[in-house]
Amino acid sequence: MSDTVKYLLGEADIPTHWYNLVADLPIPLPPPLHPGTGQPIGPDDLAPLFPMALIMQEVSAEREIEIPDQVRDIYKQWRPTPLFRARRLEAALDTPAKIYYKYEGVSPAGSHKPNTAVAQAYYNKQEGVKRLVTETGAGQWGSALAIAGAMFDLQVDVYMVKISFQQKPYRRALMESFGARCVASPSDETASGRAILEQNPDSAGSLGIAISEAVEMATQRDDTKYALCSVLNHVLMHQTIVGQEAIQQLDMAGDFPDVVVGCTGGGSNFAGIAFPFLGAKLRGGRDLRIVAVEPAACPSLTRGRLAYDFGDTGHLTPLVKMHTLGSTFVPPGFHAGGLRYHGMAPLVSHVLDCGLIEAVAYHQTECFAAGIQFARAEGIIPAPEANHAVKGAIDEALRCKQEGKSETILFNLCGHGHFDMQAYTDYFAGNLVDETYDESELAMALAGLPSVAAE
Ligand SMILES: Cc1ncc(COP(=O)(O)O)c(C=O)c1O
């Protein structure tokens, strides 16, 4: 057993329930507010956007929510995902630390995103929805929803952040192969897109802008709903199967992490790997450190303010209390497209505020360097987003080396980079710039935060 590299589970080991961290929080999560009244919103306020089953999950305080059989059956197409012991990376780093990574890149979209895409498509189909509209940053989420839409016979329209649309033409082709329609955002199809283009015809787009376009389109037709890639409680909860499987697999290895590391854009990948461990700790289980890694060019957790803000640039969403850089902030066009979001999931923001997790920010070139080192040792090219977690894990392993400690490090390799080779080409050509987000820009975006009495 000592040389085992992959820890594999059988289909019967796929979790039967999603885990809801809300049930174990020491301090309750502040509620979403109606932007007009400043009062907490109710399920009916969300009904134009989401099917009621997902809204009930969003507001649920139940610790576990059963995964429908049809969703579990589709999960079997790629789940359980493998847990690797990174023996070759450990040797390359010459560290006494043990490094494990859960690999979500084996999914049909190449990332963790289908875990929630399939669930969201299922509940929409159950409630008679015909069309789903969404945004995508890196293209991973749009691909995941396109695949889920094909499985449930739903039309899928995807507003893809323009810079990613240009950087990744094959992501668009993948979405179209599954029957989805993919539009560069900002587009002239929506009032919010046209407003942005009027101000800045060359706008690179952002997740905040693409969300506005998708929300606007979803509210215009009765047979259409909106699907969100991250941020909301139910989306984070769907990802917890990742951490639950990792717990079983580490158990097979006779190990338990001292540190769990995940990259975070909207928060769903991070929550997926971390929340099952955090929940166990909150219920009296073993202590551990949990580290969220974000891009220095879009540092909502490390430099943003915890405040009520809109989830989108066009101010069509409810207000949620989250770490935010301001909804008007348009991040520079760096290559980890899935991490270019002005806010952070309320749940992730809340657990940082409660002191239950740590956060760190890295520049893109150091993340690409870490990703290359990982790829050359382990044989997998990570998605640029995942490189942030790789960098976080390598730094923890090097700390262990310096301190002479044999700690166990777990991170989520949330996606492969096979559609991101232009980013690697740019990195090798020395064309990647580390954007610094200066204080005046930050102050300007934060000055536009909505004033909310409940704060
Ligand atoms: C591979 C990958 N990792 C991470 C993310 C970030 O999103 P989240 O923080 O919701 O996991 C994305 C988003 O598109 C992604 O594609």
- The model's pLDDT over 311-344, given as tens digits with 9 standing for 90+, comes to 998 898 999 999 999 988 877 767 777 888 899 9
What DSSP assignment string belongs to 212-238?
Answer: HHHHHHHTT-TTEEE--SSSSHHHHHH
- Residues, the chain: 455
DSSP bridge pairs for 290: 260
Residue 415 CA: which ligand 1 atom is closest? 1
Q: Of the ranges 118-122, 128-132, 315-319, 451-455, which one carries the lowest mean pLDDT score?
A: 451-455
Residue range 434-454: average pLDDT? Answer: 80
Q: How far is the CA of 263 from the centre of ligand 1 (A)?
A: 8
Q: Which of 102, 106, 107, 112 has most ligand 1 atoms within 8 Å of CB, for mutation?
A: 112
Do 103 and 380 meet the contact criterion of CB atoms below 8 Å apart? yes
Q: Is the pLDDT of residue 453 over 70?
A: no
- Cα gap 241→60, rounded to integer Å: 17
Q: Which of 111, 206, 390 has most ligand 1 atoms within 8 Å of CB, for mutation?
A: 111
Residue range 250-279: average pLDDT? Answer: 98
Chain position carrying tokens 């299922």? 122
Q: Which of 165, 240, 268 has most ligand 1 atoms within 8 Å of CB, for mutation?
A: 268
pLDDT band at 289 (very low <50, low <70, confident <90, very high): very high
Give nearest CA residue, ligand 1 atom 14: 338
Tokens of 416: 């492969």
Query: CA angle at residue 295 from 375 to 168, to 5 degrees?
Result: 65
Q: How far is the CA of 385 from the centre of ligand 1 (A)?
A: 6
Q: How far is the CA of 384 from the centre of ligand 1 (A)?
A: 10
Strongest mean pLDDT among 17-21, 43-47, 160-164: 17-21
Q: Is the pLDDT of residue 13 over 70?
A: yes
Q: In what order do the strands lie in the sheet with 98-103?
A: 6-7, 83-85, 98-103, 408-413, 259-263, 289-295, 358-362
Q: How far is the CA of 140 from the centre of ligand 1 (A)?
A: 7
The pLDDT tens digits of the residues spanning 345-393 come to 999 999 999 999 999 999 999 999 999 999 999 999 999 999 999 999 9
Q: How far is the CA of 403 from the centre of ligand 1 (A)?
A: 32
**pLDDT for 113:** 98
pLDDT band at 2 (very low <50, low <70, confident <90, very high): low
Do 111 and 144 meet the contact criterion of CB atoms below 8 Å apart? yes
Residue range 91-117: average pLDDT? Answer: 98
Q: Is the pLDDT of residue 294 over 70?
A: yes
Residue range 292-303: average pLDDT? Answer: 94
Residue 111 CA: which ligand 1 atom is closest? 1
Phi, psi of 311 (to 5 degrees): -80, -10
Nearest one of 18, 112, 31 to 350, comparing CA atoms: 31
Q: Of the ranges 157-161, 242-246, 440-444, which one carries the lowest mean pLDDT score?
A: 440-444
Tokens of 255: 């190990």
Tokens of 2: 């000592």
Tokens of 334: 């760096």
Tokens of 181: 């329609």
Q: How far is the CA of 72 from the centre of ligand 1 (A)?
A: 22
Q: Which helix H or strand E contains 320, and what residues bound it? A: strand 319-324
Residue 229 CA: which ligand 1 atom is closest? 10
Q: How far is the CA of 388 from the centre of ligand 1 (A)?
A: 11
**pLDDT for 296:** 93
Please, is 401 exposed, middle or buried when counting C-beta atoms within 10 Å of its C-beta (0-12, 13-18, 19+)? middle
- Cα gap 455→26, rounded to integer Å: 19
For the chain, the average pLDDT equals: 95
- Cα gap 108→77, rounded to integer Å: 8
Q: How far is the CA of 418 from the centre of ligand 1 (A)?
A: 15
Task: Select the more confidently predicted residue: 342 or 116.
Answer: 116
Cβ-proximal residues to 76 (8 Å cutoff; 6+ apart), any chain: 11, 14
Do 277 and 247 meet the contact criterion of CB atoms below 8 Å apart? yes
**pLDDT for 1:** 45
Query: Which residues contact ligand 1 via a Cβ below 6 A?
Result: 111, 137-138, 140-141, 230, 263-270, 338-339, 383, 385-386, 414-415
Residue range 289-306: average pLDDT? Answer: 95
**pLDDT for 454:** 47
The pLDDT tens digits of the residues spanning 85-102 come to 999 999 999 999 999 999
Tokens of 218: 């979803």
